[in-house]
Copies of this chain bind each other. A is one copy, B any other.
Amino acid sequence: MAKQKKTQRPKAQTPKGFRDYFGAEVAQRTDMLRTIAGVYHRYGFEALESAAVETVEALGKFLPDVDRPNEGVFAWQEEDDNDNGDWLALRYDLTAPLARVFAQHRNDLPTPYRRFAMGPVWRNEKPGPGRFRQFYQCDADTVGSGNVAADAEICAMLADTLEAVGIDRGDYVVRINNRKVLNGVLEVMGLSDDGQKANVLRTIDKFDKVGEAGVRELLGKGRLDASGAYIDGVGLSDEQAEPVVAFLTSKSDTIEGTLANLRAAIGASSIGAAGVDELQTMADLLAAGGYGPDRIVIDPSVVRGLGYYTGPVFEAELTFEIKDEKGRPRSFGSVAGGGRYDDLVKRFTGQEVPATGVSIGVDRLLAALHMKGRLNTDTTGPVVVTVMDRDRMADYQGIVSELRNAGIRAEVYLGNPKNFGNQLKYADQRNSPIAIIQGGDELAAGTLQVKDLILGAKIAETASQEEWSDRPQQFEIPRADLISRIIALLDEQAG
C-alpha cells in the first residue's frame, strides 16, 4: 500500500485577479447602482437580468483584444456522455447577452426595446495592480431603433447619470464621434487592406498621448517613444496620412467649426458625409434638450476599441486631475463608453436590428468619487451592548431587541465576555458610536451606563479632555429611558 500522505489544508486565498469587498465598499456600490438605475428608469429603460453563464457560441468573439488564450473568457464544457456537451462561459460584458436576449425574446419584447442591466462581468486576462478579472458594469441600450435620436438620448442620460452619482458639471465631458466619419477618412485615403485600416485606427487612438507630430510619425515610418523603444509605423506616405491628421485636428471651439472641418476631411466620401450628418443631428437634438458643449462635445479622437461599432461612438471622461503612481498630474480618464452596433442581433436572426448603448465602469467611477471625497455612505457601526454577567444574556438581548425595534442599529457582544477591555476594543473596531454597560450595581439601581465612543475617539485624537469637559464621556441613565436617551445621543453625535 502507498504511504498515506499528510492531508494538506486548502489555502485561504481568492483566486488570482479576484478580490473581496467589505462593508462600506459594498454599500457604496449598492447605493451607486440604485442611483444609476433610478436615472435609467426615469428615461424609460426597463431592467433586465440575464444569467452570468452563456453558451460560448452565443457570446461570440467581440472582446477588445482577441489575441489571448481562451479568447479572454472563462469557459468550460458541459458534461455529457459523448464529450459533446455545449461550451459554456461567463459573460465578458452585458452587450453580447443583450443581443442574445433580444433575438430569443423578440416576439414578446416591445420595439424599440430600452433595457438596462447591471452586474459583474468576467475577463480571463492577466491580472495586474488595480486590474481585476471580475468587475461591475452598468449598461443601458436601445435595441430596434436606427434613429440617432436614440444615440443622443443615451449621451444625455450618461451626463445626467454622472451628475446624479456626484460628479459635478465641469468635472466630466461626454465626447462623441462617428465611425462612419472615420470610415470616410479611410475611404478618401484609398486604404483597402483591413490590417492597415486597423493599424490606422490604433494610431488614431494614440492621438491623445502622442499629439499631431507623433501621429504623423506613427502613420509614416515609425517613432522612438519616451522609453527609447522604436515603434514601427503604418508605412503611409505623407500625402496618404494627411486626411487622418486633418480629421484628428478638426476639433474646433464650436460644434459648427468642428463639423465644417470634418466635412473637409472626408472629402467626397458619401459614408463620411452620412457620419457628419449624424453628428450634426445629434448635436441639434442635444442642444434642444439643454445639453450644451459644457457637457457633451464632438471629438474626432474618440475611437473606442470594439470592432462592432457601426455609427456614433461616445465616451465619458472625468476631466479633473489626479496624481499617477509617480506623482505626476493626469486627468482621471474614461469611466464609460458605448456606441451604435447594428449587426450584433443579426448574428442570431439574419435580419439587421439596429442598436445603441452605453456601459458605465462602476468600479472606476467609485474610485473617482472616492478620490474626490464624494462617497458619503454612512459607515457608523452598531450600538454595542456589552456583557458584564454572562448569565444575564437574556437581559442584554432584551436591551438590544428594544433598540432594534426602535430602528437603531444594535448588537450584543457575542465573544467571550471575560475580558471587558476586549469588548470595548471590539466596539472600537466596529466603529460603534455607543457602548451600553449594565453590571450588578446598575441592575439593582434600574440604570444603564452609556459610553460615548465618538467623543472618546475625539478626546484620544486631540489628547485634551478640557475642550470636551462639558460633555461627559460616560454617564448613567434610567433603564426606562433607554430609547429616548440613545436617540438623543446619536443625534448629538451626528450634528
On A, residues with C-beta under 8 Å from B are 9-16, 18-23, 25-27, 29-30, 34, 37, 41-44, 46-55, 57-58, 60, 69-70, 74-76, 78-79, 86, 88, 90, 100-101, 103-105, 110-112, 114, 120, 122, 124, 133-134, 142, 144-145, 147, 149-150, 152-153, 156, 160, 281, 284-285, 287-290, 347-350, 381-382, 384, 393-395, 397-398, 400-401, 404, 407-412, 414-415, 426, 429-430
Contacts and interface: CB of A to CB of B under 8 A. Distances in A.
Q: Which 7 A-B pairs have the closest CB atoms?
A: A44-B411, A12-B103, A288-B394, A26-B47, A44-B382, A145-B414, A18-B51
Contacts of A114: 411
Nearest to A429: B110
Contacts of A105: 20, 22
Contacts of A50: 14, 18, 20-21
28 contacts: A10-B55, A11-B58, A14-B51, A14-B54, A14-B100, A16-B78, A18-B50, A19-B51, A20-B49, A21-B48, A30-B37, A41-B409, A43-B404, A43-B411, A44-B382, A44-B409, A53-B133, A76-B76, A79-B124, A142-B414, A145-B415, A149-B393, A153-B411, A153-B414, A160-B404, A289-B394, A289-B401, A290-B401
Contacts of A76: 74-76
Given A53-B134, A150-B414, A288 B398 contact: yes
A20 B393 CA distance: 47
A430 B103 contact: no
A142 to B, nearest CB: 6
A393 to B, nearest CB: 5
Contacts of A42: 404, 407-410
Contact of A26 (B26, B27, B49, B382): B49
A86 B9 CA distance: 15
Given A395-B288, A409-B42, A15 B53 contact: yes
Contacts of A122: 52-53
Contact of A397 (B149, B350, B397): B149
A134 B88 CA distance: 14
Given A23-B48, A145-B415, A289-B400, 4 more contacts: A10-B55, A20-B105, A22-B47, A26-B49
Contact of A12 (B134, B149, B348, B414): B348
A347 B27 contact: no
Contacts of A414: 112, 142, 145, 147, 149-150, 153
Nearest to A385: B44
Given A150-B414, A156-B401, A414-B149, A111 B51 contact: no
A42 B411 CA distance: 8
A408 to B, nearest CB: 8
A15 B11 CA distance: 32
Contacts of A51: 14-15, 18-20, 120, 134
Contacts of A349: 9, 12
A142 B122 CA distance: 30
Interface centre among A54, A156, A393 (most CB of B within 10 A): A393
A134 B97 CA distance: 16
A12 B58 contact: yes
Nearest to A105: B20
B18 A110 contact: no
Nearest to A99: B12
B41 A26 contact: no
B347 A9 contact: yes
Contacts of A382: 43-44
